[in-house]
Structure 1
Amino acid sequence: MPQVLEFKLPDLGEGLTEAEIVRWLVEVGDVVAIDQPVVEVETAKAMVEVPCPYGGVVTARFGEEGTELPVGAPLLTVAVGSAGTETAGAAGAPSSVRPADSAGPAVPQGTAAGAGSGQGSGSGAAESSGNVLVGYGTGAPAARRRRIRPERLSVTASEAAPVAAAAVPVAVSAAAAAAAPVAADARGPVAVVSPLVRKLARQHDLDLRELTGSGPDGLILRADVESAIRTAATATATAGVATAGVATAEPSEAVGSRARVAVDRAGERIPLRGVRGAVADKLSRSRSEIPDATCWVDADATELMAARAAMNAAGGPSAGPKVSVLALLARICTAALARFPELNSTVDLAAREIVRLPGVHLGFAAQTERGLVVPVVRDAHARNVESIGDEIARLTEAARTGALTPAQLTGGTFTLNNYGVFGVDGSTPIINHPEAAMLGVGRVMAKPWVHNGELAVRQVVQLSLTFDHRVCDGGTAGGFLRYVADCVEQPAVLLRTL
């Protein structure tokens, strides 16, 4: 007789308390292996695939795509020890059948598995897939997984009925209200691949099943969703005009009130959650807690751009990736922080202490479709320009694909923000709490400049430094910014620190 176990949303680390379901990776009736990813969720830090610590047949799912769940809420239930799991093992998937008294994965006491699973204990160390998430999962080499569709199971409808019925007592206690979305899934899959398209549809309350995709085989593209959003907005505005027209016989005050209601209803409301919510919280906290000040300077970057061109020309096409301006500025920042360590610090309000940090973990702002993220180059103070450039390129690609982990987005000590890529000259950066400073860089462009006593056309860039006035005064901040500007104008100055 199979035992039905409930798997709860585990602690995803970094102090995160909730996550949004982006995409289910399994259906009710599927056979899952131990540590097989079953759902893709989005936290305030990154997208994460959550592996299930049980092997068996999925009997229920809780929460549809777009639902936000707190840590500890039920995700799904799995029938362990059913005939379907034996079939999966014979088909070549990792063995996922365990007796009911040893259903839980072998994990250390107090890990996230213990908090998230809710049931199961005992030995299971011999069964593993190598998928580890925030302290739980097994550590053996990853085995090849094969998804078993319901039509390929050896479980008949009469055998599956008792299993589904057995899941009801487990689910009712915590997620009775979430059972309805599972029934809705019976209408069939939606022809959508991109999680970003699903998220855009959720934000505008669009039912993807009502859309006709323009992509291959009816695939719903972002353009299809945006077109539906525009159509809905037009219909709403038309309805608002009609409502105002009907009220012509009413007093002017009533007409104005109804018109305002129509406008309010037509307004677009975007929930502040996920990455956007995390950014909003951090920026608000920075502005409310940090007494910041900004200083800026224009610098002649002609020599820096010439030095970059010389670096990229050396060695020819086989010399490897090109050196970026951002990598050069990052190396200049690490050299400046070595001279002015006050800006590589944080403030401990409880202890009323300034904590100077021993190493530089350099964050850099990256704009993605999911919003603004700040990947962190670890130990930037110990890297040269080439190493920093390679790491920036790797993290930027991960940011664009949504593959950044929470660990890659936290722990920064100083942030570099190159908003010049948006074609703007200057800005006032907001400090990335709990750091003490951020350097903003505008676009490098040709401007008239006095050079060697004569007017000339030079490549000029504006540098802006926002700093926490508690950790230092203007003299220190000005010294840091002036050193950065000197290195930009005369790259040879940096050689003294290499």
Structure 2
Amino acid sequence: MAQVLEFKLPDLGEGLTEAEIVRWLVEVGDVVAIDQPVVEVETAKAMVEVPCPYGGVVTARFGEEGTELPVGAPLLTVAVGAPEGASGSAASPSSSSSPSPSPSPSSSSSGKGSGSGAESSGGSGNVLVGYGTGAPAARRRRIRPDRLDRAVAEVPVVEVLVAEAPVSDGPVPVVSPLVRRLARQHDIDLRRLAGSGPDGLILRADVDRAIRTAEETAAATARAARAPMQAQVPAAAPNGVAAAAGAERIPLRGVRGAVADKLSRSRTEIPDATCWVDADATELMAVRAAMNAATGPSAGPKVSVLALLARICTAALARFPELNATVDTEAREIVRLPGVHLGFAAQTERGLVVPVVRDAHTRNAESIGAEIARLTELARTGKLSPAQLTGGTFTLNNYGVFGVDGSTPIINHPEAAMLGVGRIMPKPWVHQGELAVRQVVQLSLTFDHRVCDGGTAGGFLRYVADCVEQPTVLLRTL
């Protein structure tokens, strides 16, 4: 006996409550193995593939690509096991844990639906078998109820629809519980709808069409009510912004929505301040070139400028632990953190993400560089896990890669500071009392003024600049 199991969107961790369907990896009718990825979803943290814990035949999918689902919402149903014997039973996609009994021949001929909402075909006693909720008529066929088990065994199908002729006082010709729920949520009277499915079956498309009609009617009524005012006042969007003709509206969701929420919260909650300094990076660039030019067994992989700056930051945070902290607003306490989990801003096609190098204070420049390279590649391919995007204690933002000299970073809430690095470029500079062309970089530090005052922030930034200008300063602390 086939059993239909419902697979719901699992808890993806890190406090995530919803996810957007990006791409289905299986179709209705496909055979899936246990733990096979079935859908790719995007959360506020990352893009992840979701594996199904059941093996069997996919009988229904819930949600189109681009649909946002809450955790716990149905993703798909899977028929597990094969029908056997002439038990007169078939599984229904609406069942989440056990098969629903199919109607007997006598109940079919009397026009009464089964407990699963299936309905008879105009008293003919035939059963309509489909490949999933809303399956096209071309993929369905009619069989006699006494041959139902045999037919189900022949096809990867478990949806059983017993169509009943529409009667005004009888049951509404609707099979899918999702269709009923959708109609109930939008106050749609199913008895007023003419179903476009076989034998007048009401499909989701019929309910969606009724919802759009109701919304258009309501909008037209509202426009008519506002007409006298609109003659005097320019049209405006709900937020008060003038509605320009052809304006494009982009939903703030997924990674973009998460970034918007975090930045807004940072600006709202954190009283930040920014200080900056220009530093002569000529010696740092020379040291990097010498490191990367080394040959022999002891020569490691190439070290990036970002890796060197990250190592300088961990040394600076060891001297100024006030900036490796967060503020517990409810307890009204500053929480200084024991380790440095260094975040770095990475721009991807999906938006800005901040991967985190764990325990950066225990790593050297080579190790930090290798981890930055690994996380950057995962970010570009959209394969970062939520755990790799959370838990940072301090962020390094290299906006110099965009060709800009300086900026005022927004703190990555709930951290206490962020160091911004501009592009390194040749500039006239007074060096050893003479004007010379040197490699100059602007460093900017935005900090939470609740955790420290300007003296501490200035001391941190000055130490970073000193290490950039004279790398030997850093060597003394290693």
Question: TM-score, normalized by length of structure 2?
Answer: 0.70
| Residue matched to 2:293 | 313
Q: 1:335-346, aligned counterparts within 5 Å?
A: 335-346=315-326
Q: CA RMSD in A?
A: 3.1
| Residue matched to 2:160 | 165
**Is the alpha carbon distance of 1:350 and 1:165 closer, same or farther for their aligned partners in structure 2, counting shifts above 3 Å?**
same
Letter in 1 for 2:34: I
Structure 2: tracts of 5 or more residues without a match: 85-89, 99-138, 140-149, 163-174, 186-229
Shift of 1:407: 0.6
Match of 2:278 among 298, 322, 336: 298
Q: Which structure has the bigger radius of gyration?
A: 2
Shift of 1:37: 1.1
| Residue matched to 1:48 | 48
Shift of 1:349: 0.7
Shift of 1:376: 0.3
**Is the alpha carbon distance of 1:411 and 1:173 closer, same or farther for their aligned partners in structure 2, counting shifts above 3 Å?**
farther
Shift of 1:439: 0.1
Q: C-alpha distance in 2, partners of 1:373/1:162?
A: 42
Q: 1:125-204, aligned counterparts within 5 Å?
A: 159-160=154-155, 163-165=158-160
Higher helix share: 1
Contact 2:62-2:75 within 8 A present in 1 as well: yes
Q: Is structure 2 residue 421 aligned with structure 1 residue 455?
A: no
Structure 1: tracts of 5 or more residues without a match: 85-99, 101-116, 121-150, 179-252
**Is the alpha carbon distance of 1:162 and 1:40 closer, same or farther for their aligned partners in structure 2, counting shifts above 3 Å?**
closer
Match of 1:383 among 350, 363, 366: 363
Shift of 1:2: 1.1
Letter in 1 for 2:9: L
| Residue matched to 1:431 | 411
Aligned residues: 361
| Residue matched to 1:9 | 9
Larger mean Cα displacement after TM superposition, 264-273 or 405-414: 264-273
Contact 1:8-1:118 within 8 A present in 2 as well: no
Per-residue displacement from partner, 1:342-401 (whole Å, max 9, x unpaired)?
A: 000000011111110000000000000000000000000000000000000001111111
Contact 2:29-2:157 within 8 A present in 1 as well: no
Shift of 1:319: 3.5
Q: C-alpha distance in 2, partners of 1:62/1:296?
A: 52
| Residue matched to 2:198 | none
Q: C-alpha distance in 2, partners of 1:460/1:342?
A: 28
SS at match of 1:360: coil
Shift of 1:82: 2.1
The runs of 4+ residues in structure 1 deviating greater than 2 Å are 117-120, 155-162, 165-178, 253-265, 316-321
Larger mean Cα displacement after TM superposition, 45-54 or 330-339: 45-54
Per-residue displacement from partner, 1:94-141 (whole Å, max 9, x unpaired)?
A: xxxxxx9xxxxxxxxxxxxxxxx9748xxxxxxxxxxxxxxxxxxxxx
SS at match of 1:165: strand
Contact 2:280-2:441 within 8 A present in 1 as well: yes
Per-residue displacement from partner, 1:24-46 (whole Å, max 9, x unpaired)?
A: 11111111122111111000111
| Residue matched to 1:135 | none
Q: Is structure 2 residue 463 aligned with structure 1 residue 468?
A: no
Contact 2:262-2:413 within 8 A present in 1 as well: yes
Match of 1:493 among 470, 473, 477: 473
Q: C-alpha distance in 1, partners of 2:176/2:247?
A: 43
**Is the alpha carbon distance of 1:389 and 1:258 closer, same or farther for their aligned partners in structure 2, counting shifts above 3 Å?**
closer
Q: C-alpha distance in 1, partners of 2:427/2:9?
A: 56
Match of 1:325 among 305, 328, 333: 305
Q: C-alpha distance in 2, partners of 1:57/1:163?
A: 9
Q: C-alpha distance in 1, partners of 2:176/2:233?
A: 54
Q: Is structure 2 residue 61 aligned with structure 1 residue 66?
A: no
Q: C-alpha distance in 2, partners of 1:418/1:479?
A: 21
Question: TM-score, normalized by length of structure 1?
Answer: 0.68
Contact 2:320-2:456 within 8 A present in 1 as well: yes
**Is the alpha carbon distance of 1:173 and 1:353 closer, same or farther for their aligned partners in structure 2, counting shifts above 3 Å?**
farther
Q: C-alpha distance in 2, partners of 1:259/1:54?
A: 50
Q: C-alpha distance in 2, partners of 1:436/1:347?
A: 8
Match of 1:478 among 453, 458, 465: 458
Contact 1:61-1:76 within 8 A present in 2 as well: yes
**Is the alpha carbon distance of 1:258 and 1:297 closer, same or farther for their aligned partners in structure 2, counting shifts above 3 Å?**
closer
**Is the alpha carbon distance of 1:54 and 1:451 closer, same or farther for their aligned partners in structure 2, counting shifts above 3 Å?**
same
